[in-house]
Every structure is written in C-alpha cells, then in structure tokens.
Amino acid sequence: MQLGLIGLGRMGGNMRERLRAAGHEVVGFDQNLAVSDASSLADLAEKLATPRVVWTMVPSGKITEDTIDALAEVLSPGDVIIDGGNSKFTDDAPRAERLAKKGIKYMDVGVSGGVWGKTNGYALMVGGDAETVAHCMPIFEALKPAGEFGFAHAGGPGAGHYAKMVHNGIEYGLMHAYAEGYEILEASELVENVPAVIKSWREGSVVKSWLLDLLDRALDEDPKLAGLKGYADDTGEGRWTVDEAVRLAVPAHVISASLFARFASRQDDSPAMKAVAALRNQFGGHAVKR
Amino acid sequence: MQLGLIGLGRMGGNMRERLRAAGHEVVGFDQNLAVSDASSLADLAEKLATPRVVWTMVPSGKITEDTIDALAEVLSPGDVIIDGGNSKFTDDAPRAERLAKKGIKYMDVGVSGGVWGKTNGYALMVGGDAETVAHCMPIFEALKPAGEFGFAHAGGPGAGHYAKMVHNGIEYGLMHAYAEGYEILEASELVENVPAVIKSWREGSVVKSWLLDLLDRALDEDPKLAGLKGYADDTGEGRWTVDEAVRLAVPAHVISASLFARFASRQDDSPAMKAVAALRNQFGGHAVKR
Amino acid sequence: MQLGLIGLGRMGGNMRERLRAAGHEVVGFDQNLAVSDASSLADLAEKLATPRVVWTMVPSGKITEDTIDALAEVLSPGDVIIDGGNSKFTDDAPRAERLAKKGIKYMDVGVSGGVWGKTNGYALMVGGDAETVAHCMPIFEALKPAGEFGFAHAGGPGAGHYAKMVHNGIEYGLMHAYAEGYEILEASELVENVPAVIKSWREGSVVKSWLLDLLDRALDEDPKLAGLKGYADDTGEGRWTVDEAVRLAVPAHVISASLFARFASRQDDSPAMKAVAALRNQFGGHAVKR
Amino acid sequence: MQLGLIGLGRMGGNMRERLRAAGHEVVGFDQNLAVSDASSLADLAEKLATPRVVWTMVPSGKITEDTIDALAEVLSPGDVIIDGGNSKFTDDAPRAERLAKKGIKYMDVGVSGGVWGKTNGYALMVGGDAETVAHCMPIFEALKPAGEFGFAHAGGPGAGHYAKMVHNGIEYGLMHAYAEGYEILEASELVENVPAVIKSWREGSVVKSWLLDLLDRALDEDPKLAGLKGYADDTGEGRWTVDEAVRLAVPAHVISASLFARFASRQDDSPAMKAVAALRNQFGGHAVKR
C-alpha cells in the first residue's frame, strides 16, 4: 500500500528501505530535501491518494507535536496519522482528540529494533482503534520481523508508546545487569578470560539474549572496552518508566538504579558524595580529597 | 569416551542422556540405586578404565565435599574429578590442592541451561589447567550446544564456578528487570493486553532473550500468573555475587536489589517496615495497622 | 499580630494553641464548626482587620486549591495568604500569579514537626518575597522553636514547599536506614538486647537523632514491635522527591529505595515476584508456591 | 580504677584524657613512645596491679590480633582484655576462647563518637559476660556521655562489635539520605539558599540529628562544598553490614546503596558504564565518548 513517511534519519531512512523492499510505495519527507521524496508537507499530501496514511518518525517532544499539527493542516478527513517516534504516552490521547476533531485518525506505535531493524524487522507496539489498526496492517506486516512475534495491538491511544516506554525501562535494567556482572568478572582475580566467558553464554545459558550477543560483539572489537568512556545518556523513556512506577506504586528498584547509574556516569563530581565526604570529615576527622 | 557421573537428579539425569546420545559411555551413580549404573562409588571406580574421569553433579556444600572426599578414596593417581554443581568458588582451590596430593586432577565447571539443557545443550564455564581441559574436551563438546558458543575455559581452579556465580547474579538482575516492567504494564490503565505486548518483544526488539521467551510461555499458560504466589527462593550464587561485589568494591545496585526483592518476597511481615510504621506513628500520629 | 487560620485538625489545631500561647490573636476556621472561631470564610474575613493574613492548613491537592480560591473571593487587595499544607511545589507559582491578579500576596510554607510541634516548635521553610516574609515574621517567630534554628526563607514562590518536599524525602531515607539496621539487629544471633542497643545510641553516637529517640520510645512501648504490621503509607512528598531527582538527573538510590519499600509493604502479593517465580519454574523446574 | 590503654592515636589519645579527667589512672602504651606511658607491653603489665584491665584501641585486623596475642603473653589469669577497635565481630568469639585458655577474660566494645567523644562522651556497645562488664563499669561510666544513654551490654562475645557494625551501616544510610537531599536542593531552580534550608532543619524538624548539625557546620565553612571532592572511603563496617544482611536474608536496599555510592565515588571510570555505553552503541548507533 501507499505510505507517507516523515523523518528519514537513522530510523526512518531504514524503515523506508524495508517497506519498499516489501513492495510498498513510500513517499518520504525530510527537512533534508536531498533524501526527501516530497518537497514539502503539502507536496507529500498531494502525492498520496486518499485516504492517506502518514507515519511520523521524528524526535519526540515539540518537533513531533509541530510536525503533526502542520501535517493535519494538509490532510483530509479519513486520513490516518501514525506517530512511530518515542513520544511520551501522555501526549497521545490529547493528540488523538485534536485530530479526531478534523476527522483524522491517529495511532501511536512504539518501534524497537535500532539500527538492526532494517534487516531483522522492528518490534511494533500499537495504540489505536481496531479498525485503523486493521487498515494499516500491511505496513505493520512489512516492518515487523517474519514469523509470529514482533507485533502487538496494545490498547487504545497511548498504549503503544506506553508499551515501548516500559520496554525501554526493562532494557535499561537488562543492560545494567550485564554491566554489573561484567564489572565483577573484570575485577575478579580468578577469571582470566572475560570475553570468552561472555561469549560462552550466547548459547545454552539462561542469560542468553540479543543484548548479550551485542556485548560479545563489542568485546570482539575491544576486549577491555578500553576505547570507551563509562558515560551513558538517557533518552526519556527510562525516566518516564520510573515516574510511572512512582505514580502506580510499583517498587522499581532495578529500573531506577539503572537510570541513576546513567545519571552518575555523566557527573564530573557528585554533590551528594561531597556532602558524605564533608560529614565524614566533620565527625571522624577522616581525610578528604580537595 | 568413558565418564563416571555422580548425581542423577534433574540435571545429572539429563546430562547422562545427552552424553549417551552423543556416543559416550556413561556410568552413573546415584543414592537412588534404581536409576544408578553402579552400586557404590567403589563399584563405579571399578567399572571405569584408568585414567578415569568422574563428574559430580550433587547439591553444593557439604554433600559435594563429602562426595569428592569419598570419591578420592577409590580413585587413582592420574584420574580426574570434575565438579559441575553450584559449589562456591572459594571451595575449589583448597579442593584442588587436597586432590593434587593424591595425584588426582580437578576441574570446576559451571553448568547453565536448566531443564532445557538436555535438548539445547548446556553452557559450560571451566576452571582448571589447559591439559586437563583438553583431555576432557570430548565430554564438554557433547554437553555444550552445537555451534561456536556455550563453552569457555575461564581460568584456573575456581574460575568456572566463579563465572557461573556471576552468570546467576546477572540472571537475577535480568529476571527482575522483566518482572518490574511486567508489573508496571499490569498496573497501567492504558495497556489492555499485557501478554500480547510481552509476546511482541520476542522478535525485533532490543529486549528479546530466552528469559523473555519463557515469560511469554508462562503467560500463555496463565495470562495473569494468577496461580502463582510472588515468592522466590535464592540458591546461593546471587548472595555470593553480592558478597563479591562488596569485596571488590563494585557498585552492584541492580543485582543486590534483585536479591533483596527475593528476600522480601519470603517475609510474612517486615521488621524494617514495622520500624518505619512505628516512627511515622511516633512523630506524626499517623495511623498504623495492628 | 492577628492571623486567620483555616484547618484546625491535628496540625492546625496545635498551631493555633502555640500561636495563642505566644500572644497572637488567631481566628480559626474549620468545617467542623464545633472547633471553629468563625462560621464561614466570609465571617473569618470579617473578623480580621486589613491587611489580613490567612494561613491555610488543609490537605494538599484539590481541597487546598478550592479553599484558597474561595478565600480569595472574600479577601481584599493587600491581604496575604499563606499555604502551610503539604502542597506540591508546582502549584505555588500559578497560585501566586492567580492571587497577584487580585492584589493578594502569597507565601508557601513547609511545616515540619508533627504532633510535637506544639511543644517544640515547628521548622518552617518559606517561599515568597522578602517584604511579605518580613511582614509575617512575628507569626513565624511564634511557630518556630526558640533559638537560632527552625526558620528559613528558602526562595520565591514554591521554594518553601520544595524544601519541605526534600525534607520529607530525606526523612524517608533516614527512617529506612534505621529500619534496616533494626531488622539486621533483630535477625542477629549475637545481639541479645536490641532495644538496649538502640537506646545506647541516643547520646554519644554518630547516629543520634530525634528519629532515633522516637524509635527508642516505640521500643519502650513494644520491645519487639509485635503489635504493629509492617505497613507504611506515603503522603506524596516522597514520590515528588523521586520525580524531582529523575527530572534533575540526581542519582537518588536511597530515597527511591525507601519509597519503593513502602510500596512493597502495602502489596498483598507482588506481580513482579510472580513473574520471577514463573521464570524460575520455567527454566529450572524450581518449585513455586500456588 | 586503673586501666592499661594500648593505642594512643586520635581515638585512644582522647579516651585517655577523658578517663583521666574522670579520675581514673590510665597507663597508656603506643608504638610512638613520645606519647606513651610505658616503654613496652611488658612494662605496661608491670605498671598495672592485678587483676589488670587493658583496653586495645588499634586498627582492626592483623594489628589488633597481634597486639592482643602479645598482650596475652604478659598478662596473668584473671586479667581482662577489652578490644575497643572496629574489629569484625567474627573475630571475637575465637579470640575470647583463645584467651579463656589462659584464664584471661575478654570483652569487645563498639565505640562511637569520633573526634567529639572526648567532650561529649562515647556511645559504648559491649559484648561479654555480665560479671566482667560489671567489673569494668567504672571505665564505661567515665567514657560514656553523662545521663541515661550511651551504654549497652549488647550480648556475649562479638555482640559489641556487631552492634557497632550495624551502627555504622545505619550511619552510611543516614549520611547518604542527607546527601541525596542536599544534591536535589542544590540542583533545584527554586531553592535559592540551600545552607539556610539545611540550617532551618536543626530544630523543630523531623530530620534533626547530630549528622545534620555537622552538615550545617560544613556548609558554614564552605557553602557550596566547593573545596571538597566527592570521594569517600569506607572502613569495613559498611561492607560487613551488607554481608550480614545478605547472610540473614534482610533486604538492605538503603545501606547497600550507600555503600555502592562510595565505591562509585572512588572510580576514575566505571567498567559497568563502559559496557552500557558499548551496548547502546551496538544496538542503536548511539554516540559514545572515547
């Protein structure tokens, strides 16, 4: 089927390729006109037959809001907008209502898979009504991996982004569990070949996973990870997951600890630890570093 | 080749089958003589040609120590003992020394794979000297999964059990990351079909793993896990991992939180939370439950 | 000076007494007219000379918002409203703006001290402009403890509630640190007299504090805390503190862990631990509780 | 009464002064003979009338073991050795047995109070038998603060050091709770005067404590703690507390998190966070720092 796709960066560009390889007609638009199939949103709308389906794949937050609002100006009643970016789930219901007033349907889709999705397919978590989901199913079929997994209709508006948010929260926890184990192995006097141990777990073990495969891959390239700094950004979903855990009274020690470790990794110095050092010095005369 | 195998429970029994299917000759011994191929350790020793290789697969702690000591009585210089149970890594070096005095070689092997190992193969992490490892390689080849993964010579005595300990520590963290995400999804008002979301992650997503496959399997059987109590034992390796993190000054927030959550799951009431309730009542007159 | 005081519950009632004992004229209003000095907000306004100062001490959230809005209807330009409840700091700036349009000044005050404040005085953290703070200083002087501590002008609108929020977040962490230590002592085979140990720390030790005094007091009443259930509510500020830590990228392992422990204390069963139990059963055939 | 005191450093030196001020006769010994009252352990023994009481106040571990063993050589049956250092509680029972064979009695005493103890008195937690405790009570009375608090007979051998260990574990948690709150206040856009807020809590608030007094003191000296590095050592008791929590299956999220934060404060770079960075780069092409 025909699809408009806005945002042709790392994710959107790969998705266009995967969709075209599956035989779909994709009209892409990007601010970078060099990679764009349309010269403007208006041009994009003109190039698509109604009822149109347009997928946005742009950074979450104001850019997505502005893009969708501008898009709504050039679309027609009966058209569908799908937001596949990492929007916060609380944006979806008001957005869906706003678009519904113009007769435009809305779905939110959480998309997982990173740079590997082009080849392996993307896991898709969809929020929206059943009819609109069914209408767009050929697109989802092309983007998801072959086989029975990789797609869920999670619920109404917001459920797709919510599921993706929790997915990423879990991802933080998984990564940090491996990371702590890796650090213990590295610190151990007994284990002589850490990368070999990691590699051994890739089959037969209880901890085998795609993330473990990637850790092995990273260690193949750099067995001590010597070329990397222990510094990690976070991109919103981890924070929202902790906020949701707090709102819903779910004990989320692991996911929050993973998030906090990323915060700490970005601090040049820790105000909290200054306070601890100050206290130790005050009561015990313990030496401090200045 | 020929192998003596002591302990024919859930793990040992399956391993005997996998080894035999690969063409090896296994003489098994178990306290339960109904499943045993030998009538005693002495009989086991008699049934094996020297130099013998005998693998113990019995519960860690005193039982393993006693078994190995009794075994050493009936073996000869040049024989090999392999401990594949979940022994604590600190037991291995003294054990290896004790056996070396009798001319018996020793290897410790961490074995992962659970009840699925019979079919899928077991991930093996080995501690010992290169020569002994090479000598026993046919056994390892038969037990490990087909393909390039699932085996590591981790280091000298203790390194195998150490690697398995860290493996299990990571496993605690991974399981708890999924568990927290699952609880948030269950608590959410937006996500209508939690099992479908979990299932969607099995392909294409960043969090895909064998543990996730198993969570999906459990939800297929019981979509709300309604038949289970939120109660989990721990079997030593998680505790040892935290102890090691503490010894080595490795921040292990995630693995320790996973372990502590298991502790809490087994408490009928929490003395710590009684203290918190008492304090809130004392300073604020907050209501308490009696 | 003269003060209107709305909300004469546990906190407000005590504050009225303390203020009157200091020679101030307090006109109290409460929905419970039996304890009220005024029959309505309008009556309260009438009973106070302009420029009026009215302090609200009602539950945070909608009740506070509604009370302040209703109060603004009966006050005059130049009057002052002080919110001493546990409002969320984000409510303060919009509230101050709304009131400023009517010429009414606004201060937010975090009040700590619980049921002991009547006797000991309350710690007060104030948000507002310097002029209004100065105008109300006699009230603050009467409410705060004697001596140099117990009062801070923390910043502009919201700063008072913010400081109180962090105060409570710290309080969660302090209480839980004592609680964990208490539980370890209780579990120990060596320590025979836990209450005596707690009592010994009240002077001379590094951990001496008012909360410790209260824990000792609770143990005097019930040496095993046998009459209490390990169940603790939370009242908003702990959650907001964690949300703020997340927003500001502050690693807050301790405060969040204290909050999560309260969440867990209120669960009959843990969905997360059901998932852990399900996984252990799936991969290892480990027994589960049903 | 008469007391031998071995180790005249920061703690021991102050204790000698406090004891003498209370009218006791103290014969001190230190490797630094300039501050020593005796020229050797033998000389110390000679200067004391039997039955002697000798208190060791030297660094925990091998130095304490060696000191006590050497001391036992010069003492007589009926004498008493008191270890007031931060020995691990597991050392006490074997030590007591070893000494008992020579007829020497043993007590372990946890001593809290830091550099302030000379003036304020020390909190003392004692492990030993009731008769020996009673015999030495005049010493304890002189060292402890005036008033009803500051002394506990916690139990038999080891109970004193155990109680002190848990005391220090709690101390880690308390310090970190304040530290996290301090960091949030510092990061806040609303709170303009963080030291004033901290100071206000010293009276009337629920979080008032001696540690808070010291934090205020530190902020008086350096309002931004600008002269300090966020780096904190740990001295054993925190680690032992976590190990005990693990052994006793006590969920100790807060104390362990405080300990782990100290570990992290001492790392130039975090191997775990390198692994996280590597993984993010692998799956998402996320930028890494090199």
Q: Give me the domains of chain D, ranges plus CATH numbers.
A: 2-156 (3.40.50.720), 165-271 (1.10.1040.10)
Q: CB of C143 within 8 A of CB of C121?
A: yes
Report the candidate in C144, C171, C187, C153 with the shortest Cα–Cα distance to residue C232: C171
What is the rounded distance in angstroms from the CA atom of residue D173 to the CA atom of residue C254? 7
What is the rounded distance in angstroms from the CA atom of residue A123 to the CA atom of residue A141? 10
pLDDT digits (tens, 9 = 90+) for C65-93: 999 999 999 999 999 999 999 999 999 99
Helix (H, G, I), strand (E, B) or coil at C30: coil
- pLDDT value at position C288? 81
Closest CB to B177 among A112, A170, A202: A170
What is the β-pairing status of strands A80-83 and A123-127? unpaired
Find the mean pLDDT for residues D199-215. 97
What is the rounded distance in angstroms from the CA atom of residue A171 to the CA atom of residue A155? 21
What is the rounded distance in angstroms from the CA atom of residue B8 to the CA atom of residue C218? 54
* Residue C204 in tokens: 């001379």
With beta carbons under 8 A apart, name residues in chain B contacting A199: 149, 152
* Residue A164 in tokens: 């993706």
C57: pLDDT strictly greater than 90: yes
Residue with tokens 């290169």: B130
* pLDDT bracket for residue A36 (50, 70, 90): very high
- pLDDT value at position A289? 85
Q: What is the DSSP string of C167-198?
A: HHHHHHHHHHHHHHHHHHHHH-SSBS-HHHHH
Report the candidate in B21, B169, B12, B33 with the shortest Cα–Cα distance to residue B89: B169
What is the rounded distance in angstroms from the CA atom of residue B241 to the CA atom of residue B247? 10
A115: pLDDT strictly greater than 90: no
Q: Looking at per-residue confidence, does D288 or A81 come out higher?
A: A81
Find the mean pLDDT for residues D137-152. 97
Q: If you measure CA to CA, which chain D residue comes closest to C188?
A: D248
The answer to whether B261 contacts chain C (CB < 8 Å) is yes
Find the mean pLDDT for residues D67-73. 97
Backbone dihedral angles phi then psi of residue B109, each to the nearest 5 degrees? -130, 120
Distance from CA of B203 to the nearest CA of A (A): 5
Q: Do D253 and B251 touch (CB under 8 A)?
A: no
What is the rounded distance in angstroms from the CA atom of residue D44 to the CA atom of residue A210? 68
The answer to whether A177 contacts chain B (CB < 8 Å) is yes
What is the rounded distance in angstroms from the CA atom of residue B87 to the CA atom of residue C6? 66
What is the rounded distance in angstroms from the CA atom of residue C74 to the CA atom of residue C159? 26
What is the rounded distance in angstroms from the CA atom of residue D133 to the CA atom of residue D145? 17
Q: Looking at per-residue confidence, does A286 or A54 come out higher?
A: A54
* Count of C-D CB contacts under 8 Å: 311
- pLDDT value at position C287? 78
- pLDDT value at position D221? 96
Backbone dihedral angles phi then psi of residue C90, each to the nearest 5 degrees? -70, -15
- pLDDT value at position A288? 81
Q: Do B251 and D243 touch (CB under 8 A)?
A: no
Q: CB of C108 within 8 A of CB of C87?
A: yes
**B interface test, pick of D244, D256, D279, D281 with most B CB neighbours within 10 Å:** D256
The answer to whether B177 contacts chain D (CB < 8 Å) is no
* pLDDT bracket for residue A83 (50, 70, 90): very high
Q: Do A246 and C261 touch (CB under 8 A)?
A: no
Report the candidate in D212, D189, D190, D211 with the shortest Cα–Cα distance to residue D200: D212
What is the β-pairing status of strands D105-112 and D123-127? antiparallel
Closest CB to B149 among A89, A150, A203: A203
D287: pLDDT strictly greater than 90: no
Secondary structure of chain B in HEC code, one letter for each residue? CEEEEECCCHHHHHHHHHHHHCCCEEEEECCCHHHCCCCCHHHHHHHCCCCCEEEECCCCCHHHHHHHHHHHHHCCCCCEEEECCCCCHHHHHHHHHHHHCCCCEEEEEEEECHHHHHHHCCEEEEECCHHHHHHCHHHHHHHCCCCCCCEEEEECCCHHHHHHHHHHHHHHHHHHHHHHHHHHHHHCCCECCHHHHHHHCCCCCCCCEHHHHHHHHHHHHCCCCCCCCCCCCCCCHHHHHHHHHHHHCCCCHHHHHHHHHHHHHCCCCCHHHHHHHHHHHHHHCCCCCC
What is the rounded distance in angstroms from the CA atom of residue B270 to the CA atom of residue C231? 8
Question: How far is CA C225 from each of CA B273, B278, C182, C184, D153, rounded to the nearest angstrom?
Answer: 10, 8, 11, 14, 21
**Helices vs strands, H then E, count in chain C:** 13, 7
Of these residues, B171, B203, B221, B289, which one is catalytic?
A: B171
Question: How far is CA C38 from each of CA C5, C53, C220, rounded to the nearest angstrom?
Answer: 10, 15, 42
CB atoms under 10 Å from CB of D221, counted, come to 12
Closest CB to A254 among B185, B204, B254: B254
Who contacts A23 (Cβ-Cβ below 8 Å, separation ≥6)? A142
Instruction: Classify the phi-psi angles of D127: left when phi > 0, otherwise alpha if psi is within -120 to 50, otherwise beta.
Output: beta
Find the mean pLDDT for residues A30-41. 97
pLDDT digits (tens, 9 = 90+) for A134-176: 999 999 999 999 999 999 999 999 999 999 999 999 999 999 9
Question: How far is CA D275 from each of CA A224, B247, C197, rounded to the nearest angstrom?
Answer: 10, 21, 44
A130: pLDDT strictly greater than 90: yes
Q: CB of A158 within 8 A of CB of A127?
A: yes
Sign of the Cα pseudo-torsion (A198, A200, A205, A208, in order): positive
Low-confidence ranges of chain B (pLDDT < 70): none
The interface predicted TM-score of the complex, written ipTM, equals: 0.97
pLDDT digits (tens, 9 = 90+) for D91-128: 999 999 999 999 999 999 999 998 899 999 999 999 99
C-alpha D68 chain-centroid distance: 19
**B interface test, pick of D165, D246, D267, D276 with most B CB neighbours within 10 Å:** D246
pLDDT digits (tens, 9 = 90+) for D217-245: 999 999 999 999 999 999 899 999 999 99
* Residue B50 in tokens: 């020297």
Report the candidate in C110, C159, C101 with the shortest Cα–Cα distance to residue C130: C159
Helix (H, G, I), strand (E, B) or coil at D285: coil
D286: pLDDT strictly greater than 90: no
C-alpha A25 chain-centroid distance: 25
pLDDT digits (tens, 9 = 90+) for A229-267: 999 999 899 999 999 999 999 999 999 999 999 999 999
D205: pLDDT strictly greater than 90: yes
* Residue D56 in tokens: 């060791």
- pLDDT value at position B284? 83
Write the DSSP symbol of residue C49: P
- pLDDT value at position D114? 86
Amino acid identity for residue A38 in this structure: A
Q: CB of D160 within 8 A of CB of D133?
A: no
pLDDT digits (tens, 9 = 90+) for C172-216: 999 999 999 999 999 999 999 999 999 999 999 999 999 999 999
The angle, 0 to 180 degrees and rounded to 10, between the axes of the packed helices A237-248 and C253-265 is 40
Q: If you measure CA to CA, which chain D residue comes closest to C149?
A: D200
Q: What is the DSSP string of C63-106?
A: HHHHHHHHHHHH--TT-EEEE-S---GGGHHHHHHHHHTTT-EE
With beta carbons under 8 A apart, name residues in chain D contacting C183: 250
Kindly report the average pLDDT of chain C as a whole number. 97
The answer to whether D206 contacts chain B (CB < 8 Å) is yes
Who contacts D94 (Cβ-Cβ below 8 Å, separation ≥6)? none
* Count of B-D CB contacts under 8 Å: 52
Question: How far is CA B217 from each of CA B145, B195, B213, C63, C275, rounded to the nearest angstrom?
Answer: 22, 10, 6, 48, 11
With beta carbons under 8 A apart, name residues in chain B contacting D251: 260-261, 263-264, 270, 272
Who contacts D58 (Cβ-Cβ below 8 Å, separation ≥6)? D6, D7, D12, D64, D67, D85
Closest CB to B218 among C210, C282, C290: C282
- pLDDT value at position C11? 94
The answer to whether B170 contacts chain A (CB < 8 Å) is yes
β-strand partners of B2: B25
Q: Do C283 and B183 touch (CB under 8 A)?
A: no
Question: How far is CA D52 from each of CA B260, D3, D22, rounded to the nearest angstrom?
Answer: 46, 7, 19
- Predicted TM-score (pTM) of the model is 0.97
What is the rounded distance in angstroms from the CA atom of residue C200 to the CA atom of residue C183? 17
- pLDDT value at position A148? 95
Question: A25-56 as b/e, with b when 16 or more CB fall inside 10 Å?
Answer: ebbbbbeeeeebbbeebeebbebbeeebbbbb
- pLDDT value at position C25? 98
- pLDDT value at position B114? 86
D267: pLDDT strictly greater than 90: yes
Task: State the number of CA atoms in the 13 A half-sphere of C140 facing the CB.
Answer: 27
What is the rounded distance in angstroms from the CA atom of residue A20 to the CA atom of residue A25? 6
Q: Which helix (H) or strand (E) holds C214?
A: helix C210-221
pLDDT digits (tens, 9 = 90+) for D167-185: 999 999 999 999 999 999 9
Rounded percentage of chain D residues whose pLDDT exceeds 70: 100
The answer to whether B167 contacts chain A (CB < 8 Å) is yes
C136: pLDDT strictly greater than 90: yes
Report the candidate in C67, C19, C71 with the shortest Cα–Cα distance to residue C44: C71
